[in-house]
Structure 1
Amino acid sequence: MNLEQEQELQDYLKIAKGIAWDTCHKIYILLDDAQMEEMDGYGYDPLISADTTTPEGMFDTVWRWYEDSCSLKFISAVKTTPGGDSEFYDIVPQFD
């Protein structure tokens, strides 16, 4: 992760509702309650709510997950569109 990506991650974490990891390579910064519910429905564990930690705590966790991920790893922010779809924003693209 370069400095620009680190800053972008920190900016997203300031407004995030939570973070999720599939314990392999998919790391998501969840930007709304609908995404928290969706990831819970998918069975993501760990799924950490912003209500239980700080942006700094989430950053440390995401960094640890990223270090522990397999080679296909990526970090994306995701929000729900007005139409109910998921919209993804690459922070650290796959194979970066």
Structure 2
Amino acid sequence: MDTKIGSLDNCKPASNDVCSPANGTVSTIQGSVSPAVVNCSKATLGGHLAKRLVQIGVNDVFSVPGDFNLTLLDHLIAEPGLKLIGCCNELNAGYVADGYAR
């Protein structure tokens, strides 16, 4: 599996405006991956991370649900290309991820 993500220069927006008030969209990914248009009012970090994980080839994510990460887990579950595997605690998640990788 190729783990090279690419240069940061390929991900820079065309202008310095992150969200243009005129149309509310910005091209976030340029280069080898087809450009994605994001509506700035609906864009979230969790959604971006979920999409980016799928783009770099991640299929399964091991997680430990908790009070502070439930919103992130909701975004990971909503991404069609990801399978969220819940674990009881961090130690179990580490063991299962290690076994899965082997």
> What TM-score results when the alignment is normalised by the length of structure 2?
0.30
Greater share of residues in strand: 1
Report which of the two structures shows the higher radius of gyration computed on alpha carbons: 2
Q: Greater share of helix residues, 1 or 2?
A: 1
The normalised TM-score by structure 1 is 0.32
The structure showing larger relative contact order (alpha-carbon pairs under 8 Å, at least 6 residues apart) is 1
